[in-house]
Amino acid sequence: MTLAAPAPLFLDDHDPAASRQRCAACLAQLDERDPSPECPRCGGLLEAVHRRPRGADGAPLPPEALRASFAQHCCARPLGHPSGVWRFGALVMPAAGDAITSHPEGNTPLLARGALARYTGCDGLLIKHEGHNPTGSFKDRGMTAAVTQAVRVGATAVACASTGNTSASLAAYAAQAGLPGLVFVPAGKIALGKLAQTLAYGARTLLVRGDFDACLRLVQDASRQLGIYLANSINPWRVEGQKTIVLELLQQLGWDPPEFIVLPAGNLGNTAAFGKALREAHALGLITRMPRLVSVQAAGAAPFARGFADGFATRYRVQAETVATAIRIGDPASWDRAVRAIRDTDGIVTACTDAEILEAKRAIDAAGVGCEPASAASVAGVRQLVAAGTIRPGDRVVAVLTGHVLKDPGILIEMHQDGAAGANAPVEIDPTVAAVAAVLSAAA
Ligand code: F0G
């Protein structure tokens, strides 16, 4: 499937609808409450299209007024919205009203850390830490929108395939909405923290004998045949929620965009969401310059980086293998819309080896920030592109950390066991001051 020529970013001014769904391939339009997981006409991916945000007088809001309305809804204000997703509701799901399933989520910090600036060679590096979301990953931003929509369309259950974070997030939001959750994860290939969360929040958890790509095919078939609402990132509302990572970081920077926004990439939902956010922010005049998107894959799961290298002439599929299990994906579902995101932003796609990813994770952890392995791909990518001269040391770069350090305790135990290179192994002692002194003098 290829994408049609760029269609209008917003609904026609005379259209009475707040939002519609549109097929990215054949441009067929669907009602915003149509629960179809894909275009019923051609099978293409659906995207949400909204009316331009308007003021009380019905006229489209100019950029200053729009920025002011986002600021007014900020959590710090008495009448503000406590969610970093829903304060941008006019660009996420304008008709949602108050009937939302929100934890709340978002409002994640933008961190400057000298140690990471030195590690990457980029003085202007900022870290947007999405691990600060309620279930510890950026997925909560998309899931609040998808589960809100599931309730709006009267879904009786929600389902997803996942490498672990989406399942944890779906489980939490489905529980809050009172909907049964059903998740499909690759058996033996999801990090312990994510599996534990998914079980704790009560989703029915299916350990599929196959990889993530097989899980995604299965959940799509199951959703078509059993009528379960699909909440993977091919769901257009997931994309709408995830756009707010970009909107929020732009707001945090006073709408003065950085030169680069760097993110880890697997199924490419987030790359697609970032591209859509930037296109819309630019069209609305919220920003006047496009940052360049950089999607970073793990070298063992890098079909998109391979596609970028040949000008996206071919859609590659690979058998994925990487220590970064969150992005162990060989056949990314949002390929076409991610291609558009990279093209529209003069973006870059690159790949980092597992060794580079783990080295970056060590630096992030040691700086007191911490993240799960896949997240470290963004910082590894910055270091690689600075070394290649693509990113200049003085450039302002936002690297997104997608998941919390506690997501993958298994890798931490391996990295820090006695004898591993650079390990910080725990030391067992007798309960005496002499034993403490002996440890301190051995370390000195
Ligand atoms: N980082 C983390 C921590 C992730 O969990 C994922 C995706 C990505 C990056 C990549 O984002 O797929 O939008 O390109 N995790 C999905 C999941 C696949 O099921 O949790 P993407």
Count other C-beta atoms under 10 Å from residue 35's C-beta: 19
d(CA 54, CA 65): 10
Cβ of 44 less than 6 Å from ligand 1: no
Q: Which of 132, 158, 162, 163 to mutate to test the pocket of ligand 1 (most atoms within 8 A of CB)?
A: 163
pLDDT per position as a tens digit, 150-163: 999 999 999 999 99
Cβ of 242 less than 6 Å from ligand 1: no
Confidence at residue 80, expressed as pLDDT on a 0 to 100 scale: 66
d(CA 330, CA 289): 33
Confidence at residue 4, expressed as pLDDT on a 0 to 100 scale: 54
369 with 349: CB under 8 angstroms?
no
Cβ of 163 less than 6 Å from ligand 1: yes
pLDDT per position as a tens digit, 231-287: 999 999 999 999 999 999 999 999 999 999 999 999 999 999 999 999 999 999 999
Q: What backbone torsions phi and psi does residue 358 show, to the nearest 5 degrees?
A: -70, -35
d(CA 11, CA 403): 34
Q: Structure pTM?
A: 0.97
* 167 to 24, 233, 301: CA distances (angstroms): 26, 12, 20
Task: Dig out the tokens for 187 from the structure.
Answer: 């058996």
Partners of 21 in the β-ladder: 30, 48
Count other C-beta atoms under 10 Å from residue 319's C-beta: 10
* 346 to 56, 310, 425: CA distances (angstroms): 37, 15, 44
Partners of 137 in the β-ladder: 403
Residue spans of the domains in the chain: they are 110-135+239-415, 137-237
Count other C-beta atoms under 10 Å from residue 321's C-beta: 15
Task: Dig out the tokens for 285 from the structure.
Answer: 């005049």
326 with 163: CB under 8 angstroms?
yes
Ligand 1, residue 162: give the atom nearest the CA: 19
Cβ of 267 less than 6 Å from ligand 1: yes
Structural element, H or E, at residue 48? strand 46-50
Q: What backbone torsions phi and psi does residue 400 show, to the nearest 5 degrees?
A: -95, 125
Cβ of 275 less than 6 Å from ligand 1: no
d(CA 199, CA 70): 36
Cβ of 403 less than 6 Å from ligand 1: yes
Give the strand pairing for 19-23 and 29-31: antiparallel
Q: Which of 127, 133, 135, 139 to mutate to test the pocket of ligand 1 (most atoms within 8 A of CB)?
A: 139
Q: Do 110-135+239-415 and 137-237 come out as alike in CATH topology?
A: yes
Cβ of 166 less than 6 Å from ligand 1: yes
Confidence at residue 1, expressed as pLDDT on a 0 to 100 scale: 46
Cβ of 21 less than 6 Å from ligand 1: no
Chain centroid to Cα 80, Å, comes to 24
Distance 164 CA to ligand 1 centre (A): 8
Task: Dig out the tokens for 379 from the structure.
Answer: 């910082």
Nearest CA residue ID for atom 12, ligand 1: 267
Low-confidence ranges of the chain (pLDDT < 70): 1-5, 74-80
Distance 313 CA to ligand 1 centre (A): 24
326 with 162: CB under 8 angstroms?
no
Ligand 1, residue 338: give the atom nearest the CA: 14
Q: What class does CATH assign to 137-237?
A: alpha beta
Nearest CA residue ID for atom 9, ligand 1: 264
Confidence at residue 81, expressed as pLDDT on a 0 to 100 scale: 76
* 206 to 154, 175, 202, 320, 400: CA distances (angstroms): 24, 17, 12, 21, 30
Distance 326 CA to ligand 1 centre (A): 5
Cβ of 144 less than 6 Å from ligand 1: no
Ligand 1, residue 266: give the atom nearest the CA: 14
Distance 267 CA to ligand 1 centre (A): 7
Q: What class does CATH assign to 110-135+239-415?
A: alpha beta
Confidence at residue 79, expressed as pLDDT on a 0 to 100 scale: 62
Distance 185 CA to ligand 1 centre (A): 13
Q: Which residues contact 276 (CB under 8 A, 6 or more apart)?
A: 47, 239, 243, 337, 341
* Overall residue count recorded for the chain in this entry: 444
Cβ of 233 less than 6 Å from ligand 1: yes
Confidence at residue 412, expressed as pLDDT on a 0 to 100 scale: 96
